[in-house]
């Protein structure tokens, strides 16, 4: 490529995420130099806008004005438009209608709009809402009530058909026709007015090869139909004067992204060439449509290949679309001008403002990128549009400009720019159903083209939602123009003056991605859609590919028992020896613990603020050494590039999060220096390793970290960096070694303060028993375990199949399914199961299995041969049992080592959840069909598996979401999104039941638990929107009973507990736009109260009731007597239970068998403050029995730590699931 175009491509890359203020300053200078007659522009714009308002009738604008996105009614309309027409069964469709109509106040909108159509819609929705809502028999007798009761006699099908017709009407407003023939027929009336057309075959990005082939065929047929129509009219002379077509490149290939560039250039480019060759036959114009910003570089690569194609020389129908809201837009135009000159072409160049603004903001925040690729203020985009327009008009030899806008000021300003450039060879464009009122009066004097979508009802839904969002946005010109209360002078303000007034500053309510969680700095990501960043990382990885790493005990003590060095091999390429590890023997445990006790007092005595600063320094060092850590995660753990990057980000986030928590709590120094043992897994060898270590260090404890046997090298490098940051070697020791020997020795030593563990349920149970067997002590050892789960996702028939498939692929197969949170059980409503499974199977075939060192690999290896054999045996067993198994054809490269440990992604259809007794840790998804009426039974069956880590739900029905969320027992619940990738401090991670003990990693209770705080006031939790404490009749009744019987201490406890309880509270956590993240606290269930005296049991009872738990009292004389004395409201929350174990070691072995009530295991056991022996006996008893770990909690200073009596549940809702981010689009300038 010539130097000029190379330099211009570099300029495009440099502008990608440039600071907004700098970009706007350049735009201001550029537009000042060319702007002329601003008063004339304003007058022309006022005339155009006034004419549009006079013409305003019963179009879509009044509807969106009456039901804006900021209202419940507007959101209900959005969801109905997005989902109703694609739901396959009537029961689910009716449920959606009842859910949306019954929750909104449609009657409040009656008679508000001057539009007859809008008032009719409001009246119909009001009646529908009354029909859908439950009727209590005490309603009024107005007309709507009467009609609603009459409508109910007609039945739900009538309402459903009426609403389907209404949604169809909305669709017809924005879509030209269901097929190209219908669209051409409908276009004839517009052509008679003078309009031109550019047709677009609707459809979102192809998900499968079949999708891509279908869309390619649809484009080919449309080109032929349009061309033949033109031939029948004897042509139009110039190519620009006739009808054309717009092509979305993502519709032509299922993996249209930069990481799959080789496939795209080999497979998509030939398809595109064939379509353009066909268009050339008919001398028809083709515009390559603009899509998300991460596709721009790849689109330019394809355009360049087409421009240089000799087979297309001499044809000026090649067009491109530039989005002015992208900061790169001016540089893109400069490049295209150079490309046009070099290739001897004149491009048709459509300039748009951009349609994916909300998703661009969200992606940048999710991936923690340096800045946004788009402007955050509409005025800045409007200014950029005019600067770009002038560049197009200044190069008539390179461009035929096509100005797509619905903004009257923009139209007037473009006309002025064109006049100043003496360039009259351009056209305006608008979207069908949106811009015609503006151009109807102009089309006779200026060429205007309508962008006309063509497609079926199902294909139009995402497009329909996008148009509704655009119409309903608070900053939308179309929306505000329809609002006659908006002063036209304000609406038509000059964007140059607005940009000067704001000094180019970004929108104050859209923080930069790195500032999303201030005062904690967000861990920086990498843009894997940036050729420059990819090239830099590739170069760094290439230099590290042959580096050999070593791991061993850190610090290395003299005379420590060590094994011989052994190699650590790459699971994807066993011939790649990543490094060597020297493991410590079991005897090393005592030596390390002694060293920690003897030499770590300096860390314990370090002020909290200083410890926090050291952790933040460690975070910065990890960030600085990111390429090394990414390389290690790829080679040692088999991580893909994206997964390895995620590891580093999560590790950095953990360090900064716990540093921020440490500053918040500012705890005093611990009274002892007993070390914590941290045992981390191989599946997150950096993130979980650092998460455990950072929490322990933040608490002031020395930490002895034992990494997984498979991944010691990345742990060793991370430990060295933490030491470099200033953490004393005695405060952080690394001991690589075998779990069954070294790990067991560490956990059994009575001098440790406790264990943080992530791994299997079986090993967690063994550690629990070891800790419970320790000699009695005043302080029990800490045990925090996260142990995986049988994670389910439930999908009902209202869900969007394409979104579900993408989320299933990520949830089940990303990281080769080796995430604790990964999807194991996919539950599909039977009415949509066949169609969705067919789509899923085809989409699975598009994912690439192979060496994760390659950027285009989607699924890497499982960790070792043992894991591979275990998975293959499981698959074979279910296949032999008659289960239907699907595995896509193997796509491993030909040179793959047979010893590499790859497992192909697998779907297995099963009949009931019980066929999954244990977690299957790999790329295997089990599929279960269910009937809509059996949803609650399905949730109970999932709960009955005993695990409770992650859970996903795809549904557009809010009442279904509420019902399921309230019943599922899982620590992390995700709605309408994938169910992996919890973000530190945003979705605190951890399960319940067999999946873990709590508290959650990256959550507000971890540090208080390690600090053993006696209480945690709700105000200390951080977040926002803490809900008021629930009304608790039982606790109130106990307080009144205490006052009546003169039990002052009990009354005081009730009052204090009521204020301190977290149960029923909810905090909103920060997160990316388009997500609603909440952490709420629920009761553990039942608490066994085993105090030796009545007063103690009453204190325990107060703690239980304050946290919404039921209380179990021993079924002895004292228990029965106390229960009889309590008021009725209290007795309802209390039960008697037999089967208490002996309280003393001497007779613990003669403990009687538990009763059925005890077999259900309480959520916790409460012991008296000084009942050390009794608490120890309970711990041994509970640890020896199967089931979830039950904490035994003793009072301190006469009070129980209420934050330990609740469970944490994280809820993440994708609020943009209906097609766009209404909340972001509703922001005012």
Which residues are known catalytic residues?
Answer: 786, 820
Euclidean distance between CA atoms 771 and 777, whole angstroms: 11
3-state secondary structure 365-427: HHCCCCCCCECCCHHHHHHHHHHHHHHHHCCCCCEEEEEECCCHHHHHHHHHHHHHHCCCCCE
SS3 325: coil
798 near 87, Cβ under 8 Å? yes
Residue 798 host element (H or E): none
Reply yes or no: is the peptide bond before residue 1028 cis, omega within 30 of 0: no
Q: What ranges make up the beta strands (E) of 1115-1197?
A: 1134-1137, 1164-1167, 1192-1194
Both tokens of 906, joined, read 């697998």
Euclidean distance between CA atoms 410 and 426, whole angstroms: 14
Q: How does DSSP classify residue 208?
A: S
Exposure string for 896-922, b = 16+ CB within 10 A, e = fewer: beeebbbbbbbbbbbeebeebeebbbb
Contacts of 398 (CB under 8 A, 6+ apart): 336, 337, 340, 341, 345, 346, 347
Kindly give the pairing relationship between strand 1206-1214 and strand 1075-1083: antiparallel
For residue 776, the tally of other CB atoms under 10 A from its CB is 13
For residue 651, the tally of other CB atoms under 10 A from its CB is 31
For residue 103, the tally of other CB atoms under 10 A from its CB is 16
Q: 62, 768, 184: which is closest to 481 by C-alpha?
A: 62
Q: How does DSSP classify residue 505?
A: P
Residue 647 host element (H or E): helix 641-665
Q: From edge to edge, which strands make up the β-sheet containing 1206-1214?
A: 884-886, 906-909, 924-930, 823-829, 791-795, 950-954, 972-975, 1206-1214, 1075-1083, 1066-1069
- The partner residues of 1069 in beta bridges, in order of sequence, read 1077
Euclidean distance between CA atoms 1166 and 1168, whole angstroms: 7
Rg of the chain (C-alpha set)? 33
Contacts of 274 (CB under 8 A, 6+ apart): 220
The position carrying tokens 């039941």 is 993
Q: What does residue 205 show for φ and ψ, rounded to 5 degrees?
A: -55, 140
Q: Count H helices, E strands: the chain?
A: 47, 31
Both tokens of 342, joined, read 């070099």
First to last CA, the chain: 43
For residue 645, the tally of other CB atoms under 10 A from its CB is 24
| Residue 944, Cβ density class (10 Å: 0-12 exposed, 13-18 middle, ≥19 buried) | exposed
559 near 672, Cβ under 8 Å? no
Angle, CA 779 vertex, CA 775 and CA 785 arms, to 5°: 90
Euclidean distance between CA atoms 119 and 109, whole angstroms: 8
């Amino acid at each position: 490529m010539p130097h000029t175009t190379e330099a211009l491509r570099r300029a495009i890359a440099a502008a990608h995420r440039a600071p907004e203020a700098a970009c706007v300053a350049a735009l201001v200078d550029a537009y000042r130099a060319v702007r002329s007659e601003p008063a004339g522009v304003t007058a022309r714009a006022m005339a155009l806008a006034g004419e549009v308002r006079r013409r305003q009738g019963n179009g879509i604008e009044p509807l969106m004005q009456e039901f804006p996105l900021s209202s419940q009614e507007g959101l209900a309309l959005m969801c109905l438009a997005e989902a109703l027409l694609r739901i396959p069964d009537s029961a689910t469709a009716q449920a959606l209608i009842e859910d949306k109509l019954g929750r909104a106040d449609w009657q409040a909108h009656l008679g508000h709009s001057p539009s007859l159509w809008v008032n009719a819609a409001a009246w119909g929705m009001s009646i529908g809402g009354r029909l859908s809502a439950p009727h209590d028999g005490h309603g009024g007798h107005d007309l709507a009530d009467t009609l609603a009761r009459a409508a109910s006699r007609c039945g739900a099908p009538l309402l459903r058909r009426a609403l389907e017709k209404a949604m169809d009407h909305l669709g017809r407003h924005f879509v030209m026709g269901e097929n190209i023939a219908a669209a051409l027929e409908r276009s004839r009336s517009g052509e008679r007015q003078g309009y031109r057309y550019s047709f677009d075959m609707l459809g979102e990005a192809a998900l499968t090869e079949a999708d891509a082939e279908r869309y390619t065929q649809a484009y080919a047929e449309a080109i032929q139909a349009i061309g033949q129509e033109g031939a029948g009219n004897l042509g139009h002379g110039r190519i620009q004067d006739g009808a054309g077509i717009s092509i979305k490149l993502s519709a032509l290939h299922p993996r249209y992204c930069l990481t799959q560039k080789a496939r795209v250039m080999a497979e998509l480019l030939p398809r595109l060439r064939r379509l353009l060759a066909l268009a050339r036959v008919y001398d028809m114009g083709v515009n390559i449509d603009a899509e998300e910003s991460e596709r721009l570089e790849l689109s330019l690569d394809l355009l360049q290949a087409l421009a240089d194609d000799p087979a297309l020389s001499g044809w000026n129908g090649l067009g491109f679309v530039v989005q002015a809201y992208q900061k790169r837009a001016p540089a893109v135009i400069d490049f295209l001008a150079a490309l046009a000159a070099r290739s001897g072409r004149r491009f048709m160049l459509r300039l748009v403002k951009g349609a994916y603004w909300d998703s661009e903001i969200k992606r940048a925040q999710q991936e923690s990128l340096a800045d946004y690729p788009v402007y955050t203020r509409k005025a800045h985009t409007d200014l950029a549009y005019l600067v770009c327009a002038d560049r197009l008009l200044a190069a008539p030899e390179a461009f035929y400009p096509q100005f797509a806008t619905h903004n009257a000021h923009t139209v007037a300003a473009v006309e002025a720019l064109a006049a100043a450039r003496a360039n009259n060879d351009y056209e305006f464009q608008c979207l069908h159903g949106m811009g015609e009122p503006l151009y109807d009066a102009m089309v006779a004097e200026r060429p205007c083209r309508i962008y006309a979508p063509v497609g079926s009802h199902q294909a139009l839904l995402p497009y329909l939602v996008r148009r509704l969002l655009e119409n309903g946005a608070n900053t939308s010109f179309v929306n505000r123009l329809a609002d006659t209360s908006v002063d036209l002078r304000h609406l038509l303000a000059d964007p140059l003056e607005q940009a000067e007034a704001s000094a180019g500053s970004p929108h104050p309510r859209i923080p930069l991605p790195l500032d999303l969680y201030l005062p904690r700095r967000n861990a920086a990501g990498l843009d894997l859609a940036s050729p420059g960043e990819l090239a830099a990382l590739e170069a760094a990885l290439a230099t590290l590919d042959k580096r050999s790493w070593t791991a061993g005990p850190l610090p290395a003590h003299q005379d420590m028992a060590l094994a011989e060095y052994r190699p650590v091999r790459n699971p994807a390429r066993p011939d790649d020896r990543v490094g060597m590890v020297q493991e410590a023997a079991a005897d090393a445990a005592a030596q390390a613990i002694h060293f920690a006790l003897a030499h770590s007092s300096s860390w314990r005595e370090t002020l909290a603020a200083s410890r926090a600063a050291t952790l933040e320094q460690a975070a910065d060092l990890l960030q600085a050494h990111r390429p090394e850590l990414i390389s290690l995660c790829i080679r040692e753990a088999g991580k893909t590039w994206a997964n390895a990057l995620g590891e580093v980000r999560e590790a950095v986030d953990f360090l900064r999060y716990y540093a921020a928590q440490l500053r918040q709590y500012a705890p005093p120094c611990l009274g002892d220096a007993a070390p914590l043992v941290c045992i981390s897994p191989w599946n997150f060898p950096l993130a979980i390793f650092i998460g455990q270590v950072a929490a322990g260090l933040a608490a002031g404890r020395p930490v002895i970290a034992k990494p997984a046997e498979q991944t010691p090298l990345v742990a060793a490098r991370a430990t060295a960096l933490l030491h470099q940051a200033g953490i004393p070697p005695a405060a952080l020791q690394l001991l690589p070694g075998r779990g069954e020997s070294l790990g067991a020795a560490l956990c059994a030593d009575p001098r440790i303060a406790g264990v943080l563990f992530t791994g299997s349920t079986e090993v967690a149970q063994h550690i629990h028993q070891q800790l419970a067997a320790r000699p009695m002590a005043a302080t029990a050892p800490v045990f925090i375990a996260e142990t995986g789960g049988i994670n389910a996702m439930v999908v009902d028939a209202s869900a969007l199949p394409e979104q579900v498939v993408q989320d299933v692929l990520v949830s089940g197969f990303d990281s080769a399914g080796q995430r604790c949170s990964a999807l194991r059980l996919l539950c599909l409503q039977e009415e949509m199961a066949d169609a969705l499974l067919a789509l899923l199977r085809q989409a699975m075939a598009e994912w690439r299995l192979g060496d994760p060192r390659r950027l285009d690999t989607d699924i890497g290896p499982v960790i070792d041969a043992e894991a591979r054999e275990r998975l293959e045996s499981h698959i074979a067993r279910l296949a032999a049992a008659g289960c239907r198994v699907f595995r896509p054809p193997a796509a491993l490269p030909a040179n793959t080592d047979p010893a590499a440990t790859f497992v192909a992604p697998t779907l297995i259809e099963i009949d009931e959840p019980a066929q999954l007794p244990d977690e299957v840790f790999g790329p295997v998804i089990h599929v279960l069909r269910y009937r809509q009426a059996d949803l609650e039974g399905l949730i109970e069956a999932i709960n009955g598996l005993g695990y409770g880590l992650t859970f996903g739900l795809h549904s557009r029905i809010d009442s279904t979401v509420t019902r399921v969320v309230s019943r599922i027992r899982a620590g992390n619940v995700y709605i309408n999104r994938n169910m992996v990738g919890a973000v530190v401090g945003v979705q605190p991670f951890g399960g319940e039941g067999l999946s873990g003990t709590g508290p959650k990693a990256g959550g507000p209770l971890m540090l208080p638990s390690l600090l053993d705080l006696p209480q945690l006031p709700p105000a200390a939790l951080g977040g926002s929107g803490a809900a008021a404490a629930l009304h608790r009749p039982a606790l109130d009744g106990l307080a009144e009973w205490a006052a009546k019987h003169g039990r002052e201490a009990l009354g005081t406890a009730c009052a204090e507990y009521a204020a301190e309880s977290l149960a029923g509270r909810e905090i909103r956590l920060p997160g990316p736009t388009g997500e609603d993240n909440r952490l709420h606290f629920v009761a553990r269930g039942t608490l066994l109260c085993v105090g030796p005296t009545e007063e103690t049991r009453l204190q325990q009872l107060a703690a239980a009731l304050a946290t919404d738990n039921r209380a179990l009292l021993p079924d002895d004389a004292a228990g029965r007597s106390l229960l009889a004395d309590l008021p009725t409201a209290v007795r309802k929350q209390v039960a008697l239970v037999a089967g208490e174990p002996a309280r003393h070691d001497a007779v613990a072995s003669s403990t009687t068998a538990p009763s059925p009530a005890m077999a259900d295991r309480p959520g916790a056991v409460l012991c008296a403050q000084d009942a050390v022996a009794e608490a120890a006996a309970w711990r041994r008893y509970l640890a020896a029995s199967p089931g979830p770990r039950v904490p035994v909690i003793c009072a301190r200073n006469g009070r129980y730590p209420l934050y330990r009596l609740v469970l944490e549940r994280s809820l993440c809702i994708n609020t943009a699931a209906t097609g766009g981010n209404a909340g972001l689009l509703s922001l005012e300038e």
